[in-house]
Structure 1
Amino acid sequence: MTSPPEELHTHKIMSHPYYHRLLAAYVNCQKIGAPAEMAARLEEAGGCAMRGSGGMESGDPALDQFMEAYCEMLIKYEQELSKPLTEATLFLARIEHQFQALTAASACLSHSEGAAEDEQLKGELLKKYRGCLGSLKQELGKKKKGGKLPKEGRQKLLNWWTTHYIWPYPSEADKVALAESTGLEQKQINNWFINQRKRHWKPSFQHY
């Protein structure tokens, strides 16, 4: 009995040599900001899924390109997600360090009663900032909406997109050239292509 096309496509992806990389990148994205227990469960689930899959050569260049591009996209997405949490952690560490330094200085200049009051104030302030950490992470985790790209630069990106629509993934050399011709930063160019592919690209091998 012949398997349905969906099952064949799924089997091709799961047996592809890049499947382990793809699954690991996906799990890493899901682990960002998750509680330790949930992160451990995700790691365990990913490990179970990896066993018995991947390792075979696909023999399909289109699928190879798709898997490589999707792995790269997830890795970059993980890096973007990690930045806000890192900033939040560093911010809280700086606040705690400042309060500790302030308390130490106050303790040297105050009597024991004054030092006790400072310790109480420190504890209250630290408690307040820890309570705000969750909302701070959420705010920093929101994707920052940049301003609209200049019309001329956006048109040059669209021209490149139209010319390379079959495979709209610019190489590093392409990105450098686009940055020079448009005056945009490579980060802006990367984000534009990610959004453009998500909204407007339908690859011919999208069912693999």
Structure 2
Amino acid sequence: MSNGSINLAVIYYSVTGTNYQMAEWAAESGRQAGAEVRILKTPELATEDAIQANPIWRTHVAATTHIPEVTYKDLEWADAIVFSIPSRFGGMPGPVKQFLDSTGALWFNGKLVNKVVSGMTSAQNAHGGQEQTILSLYTSMYHWGAIVAAPGYSSPVTFEAGGNPYGTSVTVQSGKMVEDIQAAVEYQAKRTVNVAQWVKLGLAQE
């Protein structure tokens, strides 16, 4: 990590737009906390035919063409990373897993050590793998040597959003979020930036 303000990458994967909205909230909170922010999406693996066959997916893709895909240079640039990804059978979506699996060269060269990371997720129902999805993300982060900044129960907004200590999660039914999670997302992003500031300051004093 270099000297200066915190660089925050908000990396998301979204089909219906839920995790994109969460990423937008996280990014704005990061800016308010003083970070330089990039919103980035993971590269898509689905075929164009699959996307076009789903009206909601097709609409979301068209609405977010301005969002750049995350690159390895973005990971090197970032001091802190907030991931917003949906649950897929209790784990990460394939495009997210593929991207993380391809970061081996950065990992091998120590480029991912001490990144401060945090994860958020969504699922169709409250017990549809939300906690496990975030934990599966964190497993990869531990291999990076990253520092996980989970919200825990450090703020009342976590309880108000459903009480997931690993990261903000939301139930999505008929395309709408069931829980009111905006404050929890904003708090989690701010906390991630703050922890990154502490880590950066500590490293500068070594």
Larger C-alpha radius of gyration, 1 or 2? 1
So what's the TM-score if we normalise by structure 1? Answer: 0.26
* Higher relative contact order (CA closer than 8 Å, sequence separation 6+): 2
Structure showing the higher helix proportion among its residues: 1
Structure showing the higher strand proportion among its residues: 2
